[in-house]
Amino acid sequence: MPIESSHPMAAKSRPKSDAPGASDRVSRIREGVTAAILEHRLLPGTKLGEDEIGEIYGSSRTLVRTALQQLAHEGIVHIEKNRGAFIARPTPADAREVFEARRLIEPTIVDHAVDAVSPAWINRLQRHLAEEREAESRGDARASVRLSGDFHRLVAEMSGHSIYLGFLKELIARSSLIILLYRRHDTPACGTDHHAGIVAAIRKRDRAAARAQMLSHLNEIEAELFLKDPAADELRLADVLGP
């Protein structure tokens, strides 16, 4: 699937240059690809042509390759020898591991968020919830998906724990691919009611309730996914069609 010209990545082409600001260019490429994944504008299996991305960002293939290699290290991009880079296609096993990891770190993130709670942070979270509801009300699915992921990132920012924030950004991007592949019947990926419950518990400084709300929320997201192992399907098919 080619990258659409309306995509934010498809800004007006600029002359290619590696310096100065090479690291900034790499970051822009990474952020552009990740944002497109979060909004489900780049689908699993999409080929990421180095030349095309280089034209979009006015960067050399060397910088593009560096950005794609970083994304591959995070499990968001898959690089195949002699074929190039593709948006990853996580397996059901990958999905289970991602949500297991999120259940391990996000309750602790909430603990730190409770410690950091302030009127300013609560106002910021409430504004975000309002944006989520507005996107839902106008039927803007792309914005809803992006804002859902942004809510979890925002709570992590509030926690002030930079290591957890870095881990969670990667897990959110992976989760977006997983939801895109395995969500049942277009069910909501992340409900605003759940988010509102998490914010209410944080505002009350109720650590136990906030942790419970987050765990329940993550469990429900995973439960809405149709995660079936291909090997299991083959076994059942053999049972049905075999002699």
Which residues lie closer than 8 Å to 137 by C-beta, 6 or more apart? none
Query: In order along the chain (243 residues), what is the average pLDDT of each group of 10 residues?
Result: 45 48 91 89 92 93 95 94 93 96 97 96 97 92 88 96 95 92 68 90 97 96 82 51 54
d(CA 191, CA 194) in angstroms, rounded, equals 5
Do 108 and 164 touch, CB atoms closer than 8 A?
yes
| pTM, full prediction | 0.79
| Domain boundaries 92-223, corresponding CATH code | 1.20.120.530
The per-residue pLDDT for 140 is 87
The C-alpha angle with vertex 201 and arms to 197 and 206, in degrees rounded to 5, equals 155
The per-residue pLDDT for 20 is 55
Beta strand 77-80 pairing with 84-87: antiparallel
Q: Delimit the domains of the chain by residue range.
A: 22-87, 92-223
Which residues lie closer than 8 Å to 180 by C-beta, 6 or more apart? 40, 43, 44
d(CA 196, CA 211) in angstroms, rounded, equals 13
The per-residue pLDDT for 168 is 96
The per-residue pLDDT for 166 is 94
The per-residue pLDDT for 241 is 57
The per-residue pLDDT for 12 is 41
Amino acid, res. 185: H
The per-residue pLDDT for 209 is 97
State the helix-helix crossing angle for 207-223 and 92-116, rounded to 10 degrees: 160
d(CA 178, CA 44) in angstroms, rounded, equals 9
Do 100 and 218 touch, CB atoms closer than 8 A?
no
The per-residue pLDDT for 243 is 53
The CATH label, of 3.40.50.2300, 1.10.10.10, 3.40.50.10860, 3.30.390.30, for the domain at 22-87 is 1.10.10.10
The per-residue pLDDT for 185 is 61
Question: Which of 109, 110, 100, 125 lies closest to 207 in space, CA to CA?
Answer: 110
> 3-state class of 47 per DSSP?
strand
Do 227 and 96 touch, CB atoms closer than 8 A?
yes
In the chain, alpha helices (H): 22-38, 50-57, 61-73, 92-116, 119-137, 141-159, 162-182, 192-203, 207-223, 230-241
The per-residue pLDDT for 144 is 87
Tokens of 233: 């399907």
The per-residue pLDDT for 2 is 45
